[in-house]
Each structure stands twice: as structure tokens, then as C-alpha cells.
């Protein structure tokens, strides 16, 4: 142990710690300064940024033995706090800089240091600073952060006042359709929004630290597991294996369709007979401290018989491949599409036919906050599990039989969450901490390292897609044939539903009268397929949107014009045969056209021999909802002081369930003339709120929004007196009127049939994307210089949120196009290796044009937004690369080496 005296935020603080402990952990654990967040833990993300002796430092990498006595340290707590915010914090709120908020403390400290050094930085200097100091954000697309620093600098220079940064409620009192800041913003910009690892520091004494014993191979039989040496390590309380699990020891994958050849019970909580993928959990070492847990985990002996590893769909489909789950074929689900007449005669008679093969990769979600959770038994003996779950009730039903506990004896709570982008549509560690607590009788806590986050949570499923299109010579689409193969990894979880997305969204946006095709879900030994923002949309729309450009070229037609001729108009139907709910695509393309012409002219003028520039477009459509009659419930209660509380399980990835709920409830409660702070939010606890459904499929604003509105409408109706005035709380009690109302909504939609035909969604989101790209001829490196999105997401609840959703989604689309992958388990296991976009990868110039077409089935006309911005950037970028330099990339990501090979070849 060593002792140090540190000058922290202007005061002397003494600490005693291990010499090898990190400064980040000491600030967090010994001094309670939890604004210092630990994301990557390896110096790559900047979430632990502090000022140390006048310089920025990523203190997760700093060992205490290298820190001198009296080192001066400034953390976010020393810069501003609730009630006295620094201008940078105020600006972060005003510009929507904190979505999930996990990166915010590190960024704000970094921006604070920049503004001490430079009073009037340019936008480029701010970008260079964040790049140099490795501040990485996965939510915001960076532009709002640069906006915030510029505004804070103006305040610090006296050109603007702090008051200028505060949101002013309009005179009519309405916050719907404004930039009202999200209610969690102050906590997020002050580092007081407690994420799972922060909450875990305050678990009671006696809580156990968990460390996983994980597979280091991708496919094997387990011959034996020996825990004896591990259990002898001082401090180890128990090593939990499959033998300790009282239930089925399986997480159900909730098979959606009867034609699925699996039964869904394929994912072990703790491996018993087999290892199915790298990182699979085999045992949990529960110990009094993290060190003992780690030491114990290293001593668990697992004897394995290695089996052939099928690391992609083609390998698993080979004739000699063994069944990964014995008894279930590796190709376990087939989805057909058959719309309109037979396509064969159409293709035979068409003026033009084009076809191509495409691949979208295993995109990693890369939240900055690694997975974290804890469990305990409450005073009623119920098992309470806290995690990053964005589908609390769903996860409860998926893990309860495996744990051997009735759902009514469980409570699920969502901790403040540092981004998920869909990976938390899957249970990850919920069943692990649940099993550990049931086996030990103690509270248990598990915090993945970022390496574990990357190697042992689900990813976007890679997809191989072939598409053929037939058209007349004037560009009218006549028919389409498709074939797609989804590599879903070893676990079936929602794999059939994902494969259905190929039927629903390949070629979506266009009226294609005849479609035939088949998709299949394949079990492999690479990382399991989880939902990822867009869930099948980016995979489906990449092939058809690149092929549309190939068709345009063959026809000698402008690609935007080809799209314009074919997009949905009255009388058109979607690939599933549904009438679109609105027909805004022609108007959206009209809005883009002048910008497109200007961009093409600019690109032509700015191209040189060394740097080629090009412009690419893409259309994208995605549904808001789970398929069919999607349902949500929300409660609204009148409080004694006249305020209203909303009880909801709208899951919050960081997108803004808080603002979504507040904006919708405030609008619905407007007759009562409540101010926003008179609406209290209780979100994310199954013990006090009904089933809102998971926050996936960009469904929440529509489904949960409608249920919220319905609950509020009922309350308002109950409070309204015959003369139009409203009952007080006392009058409601006196008249024995209910004080709590349960709002419900069921989408007017139906499931697709075996041919992929039906009306699966009541609301869709539409996007038209334009990418302006520069390609460096010497290296093949493509840089996106500007992105434009025309978005129809219905009527907007909150523009600060939807702008942020669009910037952030576009940034992930750029990553999908150019840099991101999780193929090589070694190389892609850290943020940099896996290609997370840093600020230099994302243009500062991102333009959003809204076309707000009210949706008949959305609350106050709203549709969803979350996923659409990630459904179109990648084909637009790939089309732009082709238009710049003539290289058509059909397998993502478009690494420089691939483009260079194309340039040379
Ligand atoms: N919204 C709005 N007006 C509209 C539509 C939506 O103001 N017309 C707001 C909503 O109030 C909500 C947000 O936009 O705050 C997203 O709403 P919606 O599209 O309904 O999506 P969900 O709330 O169901 O969120 C899920 C969606 C998905 S599926 C993924 S994945 C995702 C995403 O949103 N992951 C995210 N956005 C993310 N953003 C962040 N920062 N982090 C993630 O992990
Ligand atoms: Fe320290 Fe990522 S840089 S946690
Ligand atoms: Fe930056 Fe979520 S707000 S990572």
C-alpha cells in the first residue's frame, strides 16, 4: 500500500491504495469522484479525462505509484455542479451534447482545458483538440459538441450571456416541437448521473464481485470443469457453474415463427456441455474483492475437446459441417418473399436487368460504457436485477425459466445507461448476476471490461445478399429477385425476425410490383447476432440502394431521378404489399434535388488527380414498431400537490426516454396547464410500471408515446368538470374518482405471412441521404466531407433529441461504410482496432431537412426516428465513392486497401 496526498479540485485529499491501482479507480472509489467514468480502461476513449498538473490526462492508465504527492487534479466536480454550472456545461445542455451522457464528463473537462488555453478556437481547432485528446462519443456524431464549445467560448469571452444558453418556454407554454433540454441533462453534464458502475460503488458491505471464466475457443465440447483450486483462493466465496443453476440453464431466444427448426432454448446461461462461441461464460467466480475474483477465475480448470469452428455462414452451410446445436440444422429458418406475379417472365421480357452480390459486416455496437449490472434479493425475497436492459419485461421472461424462478418473484430495473445501440435488446449479464445471487444469497456485481463488452455481447449479423432488378428502358422497376443469408452466430435469439427484415426492406421505398426471394438464418460460431440500430434495415437496403445506382448507370439515367421515378406514390405498395401510411418521398427528393445538383457541380470542380470527389444518394425506409399488433402500457397518476407522475418502462439507451415521455405527457396534459417540472417521471422499474415493451424498432415514441398520451387523456377526462374547469386532487378524492390511469395502445398492424406479405407496421420512417465524399488516390482512403439527410419522421416531439439521433445515426452509418467491423477477434477487440469513428472521421457539416408529415397512428402525428439515420448513409457513401473514382465496393467496410485495389485493378 502507498499513501498519497493529492490536491483535488482545490483541496488536499489523502488516499491509501495499492501502488498499481489506477488513478481513475482511486478518484472514483477512494474519493467518490464518479464523474470520472471508465469506458475502455485502456486510454482509447477519453471518458476518464481529468486535468492533472495543468495537462489533460486519461487517468485510467495512470498507476498510483507514478503519481507524486501534491499532484493537482481537476475533475468535472471541480468545474461546475448542479446549481452552479460552468458555461461549457450549460452549452452542453443547450446543444444536446449529452445523449447517454457517459462520455460527457470527459469531453467537458477536455473542452474546459481547451478554453483555458485558447479563448477563440475555430471549429477545426476544437475538432483537432478532441482528436488529439482521444475524446470519443458514440451517440452524438460530434457536431453538437463542437457547437457547444463554440457557444461556451462566446459566453466566456462575454459575447453571449449564460442566460442566452437557457431554454425559454414559449408563451403558449408548449414544449412539444421545441428544443426543451432533456430532464436528465443537468445530471449528465455534472457527472452525477449514476451509471451501473457508479451505483455499484454504493452496494452494501458483503456484496460479491463477479469475474467470469470464459471460453478462449469458439467451438468445443466441455469435458470437465474443476473449481477446487479457485475456491481455495482467499476471498473467493463461491464459484458458480451450471450445476448451481436450478432452472433450465437456458435463455430462450423466443422463436417467432413455427417454421423455425430450432426451439429457441439454445443459449446457456453458463455453458454445460458445449462452448458455442469465443467468450462464452463457463463459470462465475464470486469473491469479496475484485482481486480475489480475478485470481480465482484464473484457477478454474476447464477441459475441452476442440470442435471445428464455423466462423461464417458459408462454412456452417458446407456439406460436411456438423450441427452446432445437435438436432437442429445449422440453417434453421427460411423466409420467403412472394409479391405479385411470377418474376421469371418479367425478367425474360425486361429491357434492362442488373444484378449484384453484397456483404454487410458484423458491425460492433461499441457503446463507451461496457456492460454492467448487479443483483440482490429484496426484503420480500424477490430477485432484483439492475442492468442496462432496454427490454425489462422481455428480459425477465427470457431468463426466468433458465434461472428456475417465477417472473412474479423477479424485479428488473434499468440503471442509467451509457449507450447500447441495440445490443441490450438481448439479455447479456442479467442471468449471470441473477444466477450468482441465487447461488450465493448475496448481492453480486459484474462489470465487463471493454474487451469483454466487445467479445461477449451480440453484434449486427453479417449478411450476404444477392439482388436482381428488372426495369423498362425509361427506368420503371418491374420486378426484383433476392437471396439473403444471415450469419446469426450460435444463438437463435430473434434470428428469424431479423431474417424477415430482408423480405420487408430489400428494395423498400420503391413500388416493385413483383418480387420473389428467399432468405435463411444460419447458426455459426462467431459472435451471436443481436439487434443493432436498424435491425436488418442497413443490411437489406445496402444491396438494393447500390444496385439502384448500377441500374441508373446501365440506363444512362441520373441515380436521383431513377429513384424519383420509382418511390412510393398513391397506388404503390411496399415489398410486403402494404399501402404506405404517407407518401412523402417525392417531396423529400424534390427538397434534396437543388442541393444535389450543387454538390455534384462542386465535386466536379474540386476533384484533382490526387483527390477525387463524388456525390452519392440513397433512399431508406424503416418501420417504427415490432411486427404486427405491437402493444404498450403506461400509467399516469395525479399527486396530492396537483402534479402528475408518469410510470413507464420506456427503455433509455441514451436516446431520450426521459424527454420522449415528458414531451408527450406535457402535450397531452396541456389542458391542465402544468409546467414541465410538474410532471414527474418514474422510468425503468418493473415493480412500479406496466409493460411498455422493449425500446427497439424505433417503436417507443409511437407505441409508448400513444400509451402515455392515452393515460394522460384519461386522467384529463376524469378531472374535467362539466363546466370545463378541472377538479383538484381533493375533489377527485372526495368524489372517489381514480387517481391512476393505465394508458394502452395496440398498433393497427398485422404480421407478415410465410411469403413476407402483410401490414407489419402502422408507422414508417423515411430518409433520403446524400454523401459528399473525397477519395485519396494514393491510399484509397475515403473521407466523408458532408452528409445531408432529408427526414420524414412524422411530427417531431423534440428537435434537440431528433437532431441528435440523426447526427449520431449518420456517424454510425459512416462507420458501417468505412471503418467498423468485428471479424478478427484479436484485432477488433478494442475500440480503435474495431474502427470506432473519432471526430476526424465524421464531417462537421451535417445538414438535416425535416419533412414533417403527420402520421395518422402516431401520437400527435409522430413516427419514430432512432434507426432511420443508420439505414441510408452507407449506400450513399459507397455510391459517392464510385462516382468519385469509379470503384464500386460491394463488401463493407470500404477499407482504404479495398478502394486502392479497385483503383489499381
Ligand atoms: N422522437 C421525437 N420525435 C419523433 C420521434 C422520436 O422527438 N417524431 C424522440 C423520442 O422521444 C426519443 C427518440 O427520439 O427520445 C427516439 O425515439 P424512437 O425512434 O421512438 O426510438 P426509441 O425511443 O424506441 O429508441 C430506440 C432507438 C433504437 S431502436 C436504438 S438501437 C437506439 C436509438 O433509438 N439506440 C441508441 N437511439 C440511440 N441513441 C443513443 N444515444 N444511444 C443508443 O444506444
Ligand atoms: Fe480512460 Fe477510456 S481512456 S477509460
Ligand atoms: Fe457520448 Fe453517449 S453521449 S457516448
Q: What is the DSSP string of 820-874?
A: ----STTGGGSTTTTT---GGGS-S-EEEEE--PPPTTSGGGB---TTGGGTSHH
Q: Is the CB of 863 under 6 A from ligand 1?
A: yes
CA atoms within 13 Å, Cβ hemisphere of 309: 16
Peptide bond into 424 cis (omega under 30): no
User: What is the reported pTM?
Assistant: 0.98
User: pLDDT of 668-689, one tens digit each?
Assistant: 999 999 999 999 999 999 999 9
Closest protein CA for atom 1 of ligand 3? 137
For the chain, count helices (H), then strands (E).
25, 30
Percent of the chain at pLDDT > 90 equals 99
Closest protein CA for atom 34 of ligand 1? 866
Element (H, E) at 884: helix 873-885
| Smallest-distance ligand from the CA of 23 | 2
Q: Ligand 3 mean position to 866 CA, how many Å?
A: 15
Closest protein CA for atom 5 of ligand 1? 864
**Res 893: pLDDT:** 98
Q: How far apart are CA 270 and CA 429, in angstroms?
A: 11
Q: Ligand 1 mean position to 653 CA, how many Å?
A: 8
Q: Ligand 1 mean position to 527 CA, how many Å?
A: 25
Sign of CA dihedral 576, 578, 584, 585: positive
Closest protein CA for atom 4 of ligand 1? 796
H runs (alpha helix) in 669-752: 700-719, 729-734
Q: In ligand 2, which atom is closest to the CA atom of 37?
A: 4
Residue 492, C-alpha cell as written in the block: 437463435
**Res 36: pLDDT:** 98
Q: How far apart are CA 591 and CA 229, in angstroms?
A: 68
User: pLDDT of 198-209, one tens digit each?
Assistant: 999 999 999 999
First to last CA, the chain: 61
Q: Is the CB of 798 under 6 A from ligand 1?
A: yes
> Cell 467479445 maps to which residue?
455
Q: Is the CB of 184 under 6 A from ligand 1?
A: no
Percent of the chain at pLDDT > 70 equals 100
CA dihedral 433, 437, 440, 446 (to 10 degrees): 30
In CATH, what is the architecture of 208-307+392-450?
A: Alpha-Beta Complex (3.90)
Q: Which of 865, 867, 868, 871 to mutate to test the pocket of ligand 1 (most atoms within 8 A of CB)?
A: 865
Task: From 322, 316, 309, 324, select the one nearest 273 (Cα to Cα).
Answer: 324
Task: From 470, 486, 471, select the one nearest 518 (Cα to Cα).
Answer: 486
Distances in Å between the Cα of 830 and the Cα atoms of 196, 338, 349, 368, 370 are: 21, 42, 51, 11, 12
Residue 255 has pLDDT above 80, yes or no: no
Q: Is the CB of 851 under 6 A from ligand 1?
A: no
| Smallest-distance ligand from the CA of 104 | 3
The CATH number of 463-625+754-904 is which of 3.40.50.11610, 3.30.365.10, 3.40.50.1100, 3.40.50.300? 3.30.365.10
| Smallest-distance ligand from the CA of 42 | 2
Q: In ligand 1, which atom is closest to the CA atom of 863?
A: 8
Peptide bond into 594 cis (omega under 30): no
Q: Is the CB of 471 under 6 A from ligand 1?
A: no
Distances in Å between the Cα of 498 and the Cα atoms of 504, 817, 871 are: 10, 20, 15
Residue 411 has pLDDT above 80, yes or no: yes
Q: Is the CB of 27 under 6 A from ligand 2?
A: no
CA angle 8, 13, 18 (to 5 degrees): 105
User: pLDDT of 142-194, one tens digit each?
Assistant: 999 999 999 999 999 999 999 999 999 999 999 999 999 999 999 999 999 99
Q: Is the CB of 60 under 6 A from ligand 2?
A: yes
Closest protein CA for atom 16 of ligand 1? 866
CA dihedral 542, 545, 549, 554 (to 10 degrees): 100
3-class SS of residue 126: helix
Q: How far apart are CA 265 and CA 275, in angstroms?
A: 15
Task: Report whether 132 contacts 100 (CB < 8 A).
Answer: no
Q: How far apart are CA 211 and CA 214, in angstroms?
A: 9
Q: In ligand 3, which atom is closest to the CA atom of 98?
A: 3
> Cell 407496421 maps to which residue?
761
- The pLDDT mean for the chain works out to 98
**CA 32 centroid distance within chain:** 29
* Ligand 3 surroundings by CB, under 6 angstroms: 98-104, 137-140, 368, 419, 654
**Res 113: pLDDT:** 98
* pLDDT-based confidence at residue 635 (cuts at 50, 70, 90): very high
* pLDDT-based confidence at residue 257 (cuts at 50, 70, 90): confident
**Res 481: pLDDT:** 98
Q: Ligand 1 mean position to 159 CA, how many Å?
A: 35
Q: In ligand 2, which atom is closest to the CA atom of 39?
A: 4
Residue 258 has pLDDT above 90, yes or no: no
Q: Ligand 1 mean position to 629 CA, how many Å?
A: 20
H runs (alpha helix) in 465-622: 495-505, 537-555, 559-566, 585-606
- Concerning whether 379 is annotated as a catalytic residue, the answer is no
Closest protein CA for atom 38 of ligand 1? 655
Q: How far apart are CA 266 and CA 251, in angstroms?
A: 7
Q: Ligand 2 mean position to 48 CA, how many Å?
A: 5
| Smallest-distance ligand from the CA of 531 | 1
Q: Is the CB of 651 under 6 A from ligand 2?
A: no
β 477-487/463-471 pair status? antiparallel
* pLDDT-based confidence at residue 549 (cuts at 50, 70, 90): very high
**Res 534: pLDDT:** 98
Q: How far apart are CA 328 and CA 321, in angstroms?
A: 12
631-746 shares the fold of 463-625+754-904: yes
**CA 788 centroid distance within chain:** 21
Residue 254 has pLDDT above 90, yes or no: no
> Cell 426451439 maps to which residue?
263
* pLDDT-based confidence at residue 253 (cuts at 50, 70, 90): confident
Q: Is the CB of 836 under 6 A from ligand 2?
A: no
Q: Ligand 2 mean position to 106 CA, how many Å?
A: 9
Q: Ligand 3 mean position to 187 CA, how many Å?
A: 14
Distances in Å between the Cα of 412 and the Cα atoms of 185, 252, 383, 491, 779 are: 24, 17, 8, 23, 50
The CATH number of 631-746 is which of 3.30.365.10, 2.60.120.10, 3.30.70.870, 3.40.47.10? 3.30.365.10
| Smallest-distance ligand from the CA of 622 | 1
**Res 371: pLDDT:** 98
User: pLDDT of 78-107, one tens digit each?
Assistant: 999 999 999 999 999 999 999 999 999 999
**Res 376: pLDDT:** 98
* pLDDT-based confidence at residue 630 (cuts at 50, 70, 90): very high
CATH number of the domain at 2-78, please?
3.10.20.30
Q: Is the CB of 414 under 6 A from ligand 2?
A: no
Q: List the chain domain ranges.
A: 2-78, 87-193, 208-307+392-450, 463-625+754-904, 631-746
Q: In ligand 2, which atom is closest to the CA atom of 45?
A: 2
* pLDDT-based confidence at residue 462 (cuts at 50, 70, 90): very high
Q: Ligand 2 mean position to 206 CA, how many Å?
A: 29
**Res 256: pLDDT:** 75
**Of these residues, 211, 369, 581, 867, which one is catalytic?**
867
**Res 798: pLDDT:** 98
Q: Which of 368, 453, 655 to mutate to test the pocket of ligand 1 (most atoms within 8 A of CB)?
A: 655
Q: What would the mean pLDDT of 398-411 be, rounded to a whole number? A: 98
* pLDDT-based confidence at residue 905 (cuts at 50, 70, 90): confident
Q: Is the CB of 137 under 6 A from ligand 2?
A: no
Residue 565, C-alpha cell as written in the block: 421515378
In CATH, what is the architecture of 87-193?
A: Orthogonal Bundle (1.10)
Amino acid at each position: 500500500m502507498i499513501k498519497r496526498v493529492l490536491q483535488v479540485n482545490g483541496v488536499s485529499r489523502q488516499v491509501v491504495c495499492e501502488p498499481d491501482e489506477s488513478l481513475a479507480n482511486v478518484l472514483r472509489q477512494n474519493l467518490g469522484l464518479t464523474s470520472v467514468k471508465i469506458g475502455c480502461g485502456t486510454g482509447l476513449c477519453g471518458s476518464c479525462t481529468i486535468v492533472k498538473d495543468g495537462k489533460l490526462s486519461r487517468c485510467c492508465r495512470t498507476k498510483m505509484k507514478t503519481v507524486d504527492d501534491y499532484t493537482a487534479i481537476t475533475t468535472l466536480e471541480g468545474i461546475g455542479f448542479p446549481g452552479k454550472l460552468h458555461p461549457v456545461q450549460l452549452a452542453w445542455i443547450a446543444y444536446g451534447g449529452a445523449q447517454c451522457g457517459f462520455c460527457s464528463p470527459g469531453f467537458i473537462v477536455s473542452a474546459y482545458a481547451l478554453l483555458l488555453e485558447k479563448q477563440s478556437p475555430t471549429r477545426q481547432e476544437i475538432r483537432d483538440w478532441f482528436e488529439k485528446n482521444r475524446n470519443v462519443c458514440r451517440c452524438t456524431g460530434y457536431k453538437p459538441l463542437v457547437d457547444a464549445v463554440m457557444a461556451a467560448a462566446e459566453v466566456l469571452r462575454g459575447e453571449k450571456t449564460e442566460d442566452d444558453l437557457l431554454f425559454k418556454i414559449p408563451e403558449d407554454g408548449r414544449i412539444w416541437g421545441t428544443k426543451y433540454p432533456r430532464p436528465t441533462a443537468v445530471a449528465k453534464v455534472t457527472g452525477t448521473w449514476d451509471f451501473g458502475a457508479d451505483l455499484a460503488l454504493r452496494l452494501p458491505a458483503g456484496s460479491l464481485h463477479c469475474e467470469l471464466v470464459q471460453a478462449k475457443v469458439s467451438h468445443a465440447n466441455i469435458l470437465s470443469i474443476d473449481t477446487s483450486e479457485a475456491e481455495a483462493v482467499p476471498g473467493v466465496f463461491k464459484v458458480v457453474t451450471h450445476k448451481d443453476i436450478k432452472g433450465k440453464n437456458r435463455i430462450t431466444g423466443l422463436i417467432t415463427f413455427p417454421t423455425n427448426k430450432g426451439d429457441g432454448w439454445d443459449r446457456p446461461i453458463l455453458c454445460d456441455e458445449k462452448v458455442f462461441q469465443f467468450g462464452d461464460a463457463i463459470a462465475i467466480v464470486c469473491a469479496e474483492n475484485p482481486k480475489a475474483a480475478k485470481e480465482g477465475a484464473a484457477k478454474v480448470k476447464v477441459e475441452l475437446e476442440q470442435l471445428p469452428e464455423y466462423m461464417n455462414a458459408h462454412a456452417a452451410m458446407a456439406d460436411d459441417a456438423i450441427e452446432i446445436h445437435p438436432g437442429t440444422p445449422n440453417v434453421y429458418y427460411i423466409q420467403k418473399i412472394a409479391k405479385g406475379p411470377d418474376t421469371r417472365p418479367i425478367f425474360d421480357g425486361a429491357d434492362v436487368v442488373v444484378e449484384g452480390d453484397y456483404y454487410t459486416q458484423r458491425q460492433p455496437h461499441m457503446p463507451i460504457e461496457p456492460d454492467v449490472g448487479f443483483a440482490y434479493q429484496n426484503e420480500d425475497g424477490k430477485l432484483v436485477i439492475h442492468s442496462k436492459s432496454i427490454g425489462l419485461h422481455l428480459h425477465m421472461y427470457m431468463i426466468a425459466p433458465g434461472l428456475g424462478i417465477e417472473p412474479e418473484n423477479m424485479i428488473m430495473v434499468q440503471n442509467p445507461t451509457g449507450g447500447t445501440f441495440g445490443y441490450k435488446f438481448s439479455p447479456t449479464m442479467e442471468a449471470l448476476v441473477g444466477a450468482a445471487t441465487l447461488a450465493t444469497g448475496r448481492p453480486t456485481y459484474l462489470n465487463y471490461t471493454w474487451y469483454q463488452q466487445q467479445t461477449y455481447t451480440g453484434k449486427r449479423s453479417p449478411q450476404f445478399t444477392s439482388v436482381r432488378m428488372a426495369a423498362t428502358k425509361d427506368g420503371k422497376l418491374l420486378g426484383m429477385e433476392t437471396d439473403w443469408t444471415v450469419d446469426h452466430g450460435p444463438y437463435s435469439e430473434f434470428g428469424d425476425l431479423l431474417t424477415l427484415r430482408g423480405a420487408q426492406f430489400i428494395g423498400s421505398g420503391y413500388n416493385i410490383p413483383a418480387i420473389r426471394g428467399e432468405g435463411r438464418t444460419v447458426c455459426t460460431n462467431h459472435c451471436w447476432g443481436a439487434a443493432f440500430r436498424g435491425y436488418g434495415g442497413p443490411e437489406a437496403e445496402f444491396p438494393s440502394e447500390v444496385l439502384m445506382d448500377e441500374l441508373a448507370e446501365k440506363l444512362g439515367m441520373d441515380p436521383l431521378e431513377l429513384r424519383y421515378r420509382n418511390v412510393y406514390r398513391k397506388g404503390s405498395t411496399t415489398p410486403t404489399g402494404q399501402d404506405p401510411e404517407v407518401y412523402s418521398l417525392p417531396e423529400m427528393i424534390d427538397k434534396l434535388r437543388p442541393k444535389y445538383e450543387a454538390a455534384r457541380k462542386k465535386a466536379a470542380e474540386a476533384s484533382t488527380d490526387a483527390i477525387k470527389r463524388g456525390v452519392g444518394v440513397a433512399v431508406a425506409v424503416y418501420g417504427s414498431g415490432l411486427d404486427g399488433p405491437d402493444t404498450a402500457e403506461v400509467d399516469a397518476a395525479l399527486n396530492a400537490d396537483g402534479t402528475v407522475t408518469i410510470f413507464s418502462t420506456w427503455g433509455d439507451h441514451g436516446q431520450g426516454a426521459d424527454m420522449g415521455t415528458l414531451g408527450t405527457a406535457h402535450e397531452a396534459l396541456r389542458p391542465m396547464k402544468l409546467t414541465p417540472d410538474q410532471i414527474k417521471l418514474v422510468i425503468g422499474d418493473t415493480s412500479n410500471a406496466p409493460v411498455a415493451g422493449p425500446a427497439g424498432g424505433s417503436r417507443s415514441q409511437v407505441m409508448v408515446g400513444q400509451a402515455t398520451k392515452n393515460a394522460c387523456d384519461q386522467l384529463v377526462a376524469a378531472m374535467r368538470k362539466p363546466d370545463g374547469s378541472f377538479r383538484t386532487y381533493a375533489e377527485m378524492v372526495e368524489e372517489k374518482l381514480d387517481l391512476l390511469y393505465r394508458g394502452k395502445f395496440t398498433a393497427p398492424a398485422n404480421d407478415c405471412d410465410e411469403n413476407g406479405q402483410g401490414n407489419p407496421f402502422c408507422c414508417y420512417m423515411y430518409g433520403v441521404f446524400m454523401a459528399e465524399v473525397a477519395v485519396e488516390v494514393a491510399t484509397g482512403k475515403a473521407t466523408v466531407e458532408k452528409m445531408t439527410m432529408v427526414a420524414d419522421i412524422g411530427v417531431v416531439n423534440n428537435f434537440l433529441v431528433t437532431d441528435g439521433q440523426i447526427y449520431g445515426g449518420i456517424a454510425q452509418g459512416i462507420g458501417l461504410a468505412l471503418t467498423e467491423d468485428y471479424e478478427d477477434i484479436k484485432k477488433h477487440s478494442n475500440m480503435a482496432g474495431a474502427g470506432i469513428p473519432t471526430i476526424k472521421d465524421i464531417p462537421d457539416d451535417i445538414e438535416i431537412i425535416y419533412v414533417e408529415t403527420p402520421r395518422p397512428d402516431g401520437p400527435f402525428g409522430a413516427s419514430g426516428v432512432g434507426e432511420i439515420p443508420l439505414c441510408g448513409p452507407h449506400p450513399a457513401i459507397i455510391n459517392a465513392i464510385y462516382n468519385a473514382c469509379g470503384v464500386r465496393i460491394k463488401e463493407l467496410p470500404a477499407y482504404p486497401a479495398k478502394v486502392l485495389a479497385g483503383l489499381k485493378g
